[in-house]
Amino acid sequence: MNRFLQFSILVIAFIINSCATTSFKTKIVRPAERTPAAFITTEGMVLDGTSCKSPLRDPRDGTEIILVESIKGLGDYQVPKGRYGVSVDELLRVNCETGEVVGIVTK
């Protein structure tokens, strides 16, 4: 019984981990284009490294990007059509602690 329980826990942990790693793509496809040095939060929020904030705002023109998913301090954001070199099947990856752009990833 004890071995069965240990095996079951191991299998469940593996399944959960597999789901998390396959849904969050880690490979950067290419660098983004014409991005700010860093995105900023909307009023009343701060970048603190404990969670990814949404929406983030381009301080140059106010463009907002919306968080789709995040893991380990990185957030993948939906951007308005035609912005930052991101196509319709891609997301913009941002460092959630600094607001700096990491690159473009596929959805």
Judged against a pLDDT cut of 60, whether residue 1 lies above it is answered with no
56 — pLDDT class (breaks 50, 70, 90) = very high
Q: Are 104 and 97 a contacting pair, CB within 8 Å? A: no
Per-residue model confidence as pLDDT tens digits over 59-84: 999 999 999 999 999 999 999 999 99
| pLDDT greater at residue 99 or residue 43 | 99
Tell me how far apart the alpha carbons of residues 82 and 47 are, in angstroms, rounded to a whole number: 26
* pTM for the full predicted model: 0.76
- Name which of 11-15, 33-37, 46-50, 99-103 the model is least confident about: 11-15
User: Sign of the CA dihedral 35, 78, 96, 42?
Assistant: positive
